[in-house]
Structure 1
């Protein structure tokens, strides 16, 4: 690139977008990269406070910020993402559909350790809607050594999974078993079922069966098996998750041959959460807080299972950092620290 006086710039080609700010009226690019300066542009450039401008002077080995940002975005983008057009040296990555953002913390760190390279994203496992901006790339200088971008592209290829991708939530057939003798015998109304049904449907899945069971291990187990036989791809068992002697839900799940992943999660609310698998089918034991708290461990874990991810105990343990809900008077999840 070449720096020249504005008054001598007629006929030259701008190397970057130039922003004009008119207080209270507008802010945005007045001249775009590639614009050929004309006589009538001189007064406008001077009014923008430009005494000198940078114009195109192709130097071997250097590439423009727009090209660099676009190549970075292409290098990190996996499925479920759309790349916006480069604008003022920046490229936004937006969600192509609803789902969860999966981002590689190690990959983001590796790229950002390169000098003059920037990748900024939402948190890993952030729930997004179609059209949401989930990340952005840019470089610091107007022109950057292409070797840096090639190094960034090489780093991205070293990771098994894309550094960024949006995974859709799959449509799942869900069974619900509400436990508790007080509900089973009709002494109180079931409050769990409607809450769980609303969450399941909001995630794009359906409840295919909802049964009640008293505090009896064999009845809870037969209810779960019945729903599996009906084609349930996920079973939610609510209630009976504490350590009281008559809270037998964990025992029922463990003793029916399920692979126990965890009984307990470092998340508040939701500490008594249970996750197990029968084959490939997740079985979740849900504590009472899921019934009355807006967001709990269940909301952090269930959507990941609905993308098809199989979670380990380590995955659950990692939720401890950011696992404290602040119980705000008005819940703004996911635009808060919970689960981040």
Structure 2
């Protein structure tokens, strides 16, 4: 940047905010950093005591902060300005809208309900470079349309193109140049609920588990196609699972029978259905006895422990959004849930605005 007489600054880009103070009335910026000075601005600038200004001086190999912020946006979303679709003051790409660059900063907002994903290693590579930053909400979390997803900015007023290129090279080395962020829309699914337990099957108690699932599933684009009650006979449960799949179920939820008691045979029944078990037992409380499996055709079959019925939040709330977004869950990913996997049972539940599962 360079210092220039205010009278000669028409067409120049301000490198700093211009603040006006009127006693008892106002204190704030008259012009923001990045503003292009016009002829009409000169008297205003002189009235606030600015005889000289710091203005942007283009140099070979250097980028203005807003240009650098646009490159950070591309790291996050992928695509260029030409590929992004402008809607008023926003540009939408990959189900995320980006604000226009201002003072070297851009924010991303969800344009639909879905599962927010973050490439943590690639994000680390960018933030390790210095002079630039990207801050996001936690990945693998459910978001709703209008939720803020990320903010990014270049720290100094100008940054070298070489430094931005270095960050891009680091991302390509880490993940082949894929976008750091993604938003996977929820996919409409057909769900079957299978309730197990002789006490429910024989009418000794009322099924209070299914209504809980119906309430949770009601927030997603799903249709419950069947509700079946089975005895503790594992073959009956296996037959119910296979029957649900034959009806076209994309997701089968088996409730109860998940502990180590002799009569709790749901894990065996799921295994006998031909499902491939991803995990039986997870480092999450509530939800340690949770089971996740997939059929060869990709349909998910879950065994839900009793805590899902009475606890406000459990591992089911962490895994369900991923399954509904067709984002396969691995054993290794479940293992990482130990840190943050302890629900604190707060008097007023604020999930997902808490540390559970993150």
Question: Normalised by the size of structure 2, how large is the TM-score?
Answer: 0.87
Deviation at 1:32, TM superposition (A): 5.8
Do the aligned residues in 2 keep the contact of 1:17 with 1:29 (CA within 8 Å)? no
Query: Are the structure 2 counterparts of residues 11 and 257 from structure 1 closer, same or farther at C-alpha, using a change threshold of 3 Å?
Result: closer
Structure 2 unaligned spans of 5+ = 79-93
Query: Are the structure 2 counterparts of residues 17 and 186 from structure 1 closer, same or farther at C-alpha, using a change threshold of 3 Å?
Result: farther
Aligned match of 2:321 in 303, 314, 325? 303
Match of 1:286 in 2: 304
Pairing 1:183-332 to 2, within 5 Å after superposition:
183-279=200-296, 280-332=298-350
Deviation at 1:55, TM superposition (A): 0.7
Moved more, 246-255 or 20-29: 20-29
Deviation at 1:267, TM superposition (A): 0.5
Deviation at 1:80, TM superposition (A): 2.2
- Aligned mates of 1:167, 1:26 — CA distance in 2: 44
Deviation at 1:29, TM superposition (A): 6.8
Pairing 1:10-159 to 2, within 5 Å after superposition:
10-11=9-10, 13-16=12-15, 18=17, 20=19, 30-31=31-32, 33-36=34-37, 38-43=41-46, 45-46=48-49, 53-78=53-78, 79-158=94-173, 159=175
Paired residue secondary structure (2:10): coil
Deviation at 1:100, TM superposition (A): 1.2
Deviation at 1:25, TM superposition (A): 6.8
- Aligned mates of 2:61, 2:311 — CA distance in 1: 57
Query: Are the structure 2 counterparts of residues 291 and 64 from structure 1 closer, same or farther at C-alpha, using a change threshold of 3 Å?
Result: same
- Aligned mates of 2:152, 2:46 — CA distance in 1: 33
Question: Normalised by the size of structure 1, how large is the TM-score?
Answer: 0.92
Please, what is the CA RMSD of the aligned residues?
A: 2.2
- Aligned mates of 1:125, 1:27 — CA distance in 2: 40
Moved more, 264-273 or 218-227: 218-227
- Aligned mates of 1:195, 1:235 — CA distance in 2: 15
Deviation string 1:220-257 (CA, Å, 9 cap, x unpaired) is 11111111111001100001111111111111112232
Deviation at 1:53, TM superposition (A): 3.4
Do the aligned residues in 2 keep the contact of 1:100 with 1:126 (CA within 8 Å)? yes
Deviation string 1:255-299 (CA, Å, 9 cap, x unpaired) is 232211111010011000001122111110000010011111001
Do the aligned residues in 2 keep the contact of 1:17 with 1:87 (CA within 8 Å)? no
Aligned length: 336
